[in-house]
């Protein structure tokens, strides 16, 4: 165990933590947990009554990253160092972040909703497309689809986002540490993550488990696309908050809506007059007309009961009607 500890410590000394995450400059101590004892730097300690796991704990008043080792001879040094980097990043989160721990019991009550899981599977396919092809549109579609799942799941999905933030970013940190230590092992490790996302099987229904993978690959995707996610996460946002803020579909919709409203406002700002009608639309140019509420703007022409009217005109429609017109607003040339 001592030789393994020394080798892992040396590997971790080669990791540039600041390069992985701005502000992450401190490597916390670590311990390797065997069947009968705990090996810390230069000393062994009994297991005692503490429950040991792969995690970060408070030990003698300081954070300590721990990893359980059954057989030191079977451990891969670089991989083990990356796993410990994951746990060390949790210490960084605990010190610097707000809101990255899920309520595990609430997460356990996550709704068993087949429709939501089908949407999640489709989300994951879009995430893989975004990562593999460096595709911003796929990421935007991922955001839109996830928003529909938020509406189904409700508040419980917040816990999923917290796991994705806490564990997903730690997994990202460990993966990036592995990249620095062994690019070939990094490639193999990434492929395992991508394969799990591609064919999750029953893991799809383990919200906590899948969030490690979706969170890590989301971070890698945002990194590929040059979208900053470090500072927002430090400030309390979730990964989904970050990508929602970059929702190109929402941005495009806002521009579309503003432009459409401006067309109506511009027309109404000219001198107009209103003529009462009780007629039906029988002809129009569908490429040059817009509707807002119960008003339709026709910029070229419209035909009402066979009578052609040159645009621009605004039609006041009967409430909720697709084609019955109650009055016409035209430009007042007087």
Return d(Cα 6, Cα 19) in angstroms, integer. 23
pLDDT in the model for residue 303: 95
CA 295, distance to chain mean position in Å, is 38
pLDDT tens for the chain, 334 residues long, are 889 999 999 999 999 999 999 999 888 999 999 888 889 887 888 877 777 889 999 888 899 999 999 999 999 999 999 999 999 999 999 888 876 788 888 888 888 999 999 999 999 999 999 999 999 999 989 998 998 998 898 878 888 999 999 999 999 999 999 999 999 999 999 999 999 999 999 999 999 999 999 999 999 999 999 888 887 676 667 888 877 775 566 667 778 899 999 999 999 998 889 999 999 999 999 999 999 999 999 999 999 999 999 999 999 999 999 999 999 999 887 5
pLDDT in the model for residue 154: 81
Contact of 127 with 217, CB cutoff 8 Å = yes
Return d(Cα 199, Cα 125) in angstroms, integer. 10
Residue 180, token pair as written in the block? 């620095």
Phi, psi at residue 314, to the nearest 5°?
Answer: -115, 130
Return d(Cα 63, Cα 94) in angstroms, integer. 10
- Point out which residues pair with 58 in neighbouring strands: 63
pLDDT in the model for residue 246: 58
pLDDT in the model for residue 104: 84
CA angle, 129 then 99 then 89, to 5°: 70
List strand residue ranges (DSSP E) for 172-306, in order: 272-284, 289-292, 295-298, 301-304
Contact of 164 with 213, CB cutoff 8 Å = no
């Amino acid at each position: 165990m001592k030789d393994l500890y020394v080798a892992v410590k040396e590997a971790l000394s080669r990791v540039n933590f600041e390069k992985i995450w701005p502000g992450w400059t401190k490597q916390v101590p670590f311990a390797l947990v065997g069947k009968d004892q705990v090996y810390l730097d230069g000393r062994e300690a009994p297991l005692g009554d503490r429950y040991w796991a792969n995690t970060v704990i408070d030990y003698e008043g300081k954070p300590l990253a721990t990893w359980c080792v059954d057989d030191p001879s079977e451990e891969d040094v670089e991989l083990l160092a990356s796993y410990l980097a994951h746990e060390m990043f949790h210490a960084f989160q605990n010190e610097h972040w707000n809101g990255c721990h899920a309520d595990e019991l609430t997460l356990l009550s996550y709704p068993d909703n087949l429709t939501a899981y089908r949407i999640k599977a489709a989300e994951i396919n879009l995430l893989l497309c975004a990562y593999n092809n460096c595709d911003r549109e796929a990421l935007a579609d991922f955001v839109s689809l996830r928003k529909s799942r938020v509406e189904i799941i409700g508040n419980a999905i917040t816990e999923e986002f917290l796991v994705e933030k806490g564990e997903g970013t730690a997994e990202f940190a460990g993966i990036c540490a592995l990249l620095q230590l062994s690019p070939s092992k990094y490639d193999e490790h990434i492929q395992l993550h991508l394969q799990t996302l591609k064919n999750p099987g029953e893991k799809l229904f383990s919200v906590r488990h899948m969030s490690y993978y979706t969170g890590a690959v989301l971070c890698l995707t945002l990194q590929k696309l040059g979208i900053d996610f470090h500072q927002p996460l430090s400030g309390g946002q979730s990964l989904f908050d970050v990508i929602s803020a970059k929702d190109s579909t929402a941005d495009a919709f806002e521009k579309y809506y503003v432009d459409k409203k401006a067309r109506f406002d511009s027309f109404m700002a000219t001198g107009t007059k209103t003529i009462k009608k009780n007629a039906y639309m029988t002809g129009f140019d569908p490429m040059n007309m817009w509707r807002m509420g119960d008003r339709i703007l026709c910029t070229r022409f419209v035909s009402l009961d066979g009578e052609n009217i040159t645009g621009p005109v605004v039609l006041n429609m009967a409430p909720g009607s697709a084609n019955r017109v109650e009055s016409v607003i035209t430009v007042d040339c007087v």
